[in-house]
Amino acid sequence: MKVESHEHRIGIMENLLRDAKQVLTLEEAALFMGISKSSLYKMTHKHELPFFRPNGKIIYFEKSELLNWMRQNRSMSEAETKAAATKHMSELCK
């Protein structure tokens, strides 16, 4: 097999392992969230999202908690907004 093929397969395996991982380091969490490590450090300093620091130094994040945090303050689609407005108007007319 070619080296490129092996590298590609290794990359796929690394992605699968990363997807299965439930506890993330700061670097992994930043990649997962699509933000810089600096931004994530600032957010932990302000206690804007949940994190763990079991040894007092290294910061860890639980993937499910990051997903829950990222899903906060959801914006409704235009169709959802129209449906909510229609429902509200029909309730007012009763």
* Crossing angle of the two packed helices 63-70 and 26-33, in degrees rounded to 10: 40
pLDDT given at position 59: 95
pLDDT digits (tens, 9 = 90+) for 30-83: 988 999 999 999 999 999 999 999 988 899 999 999 999 999 988 889 998 999
Domain residue ranges in the chain: 3-92
pTM over 0.75? The answer is no
Residue 63, C-beta contacts closer than 8 angstroms, at least 6 positions apart: 21, 22, 23, 24, 32
Quickly count: other Cβ atoms within 10 Å of residue 61's Cβ.
Answer: 24
Fold of the domain spanning 3-92: Multidrug-efflux Transporter Regulator; Chain: A; Domain 2 (1.10.1660)
Cα 53 → chain centroid: 19
Quote the pLDDT of residue 29: 92
**Could you tell me the end-to-end alpha-carbon distance of the chain, in angstroms, rounded to an integer?**
72
Give the 3-state secondary structure of residue 57. Answer: coil
| Closest residue by Cα to residue 41 from 87, 79, 53 | 53
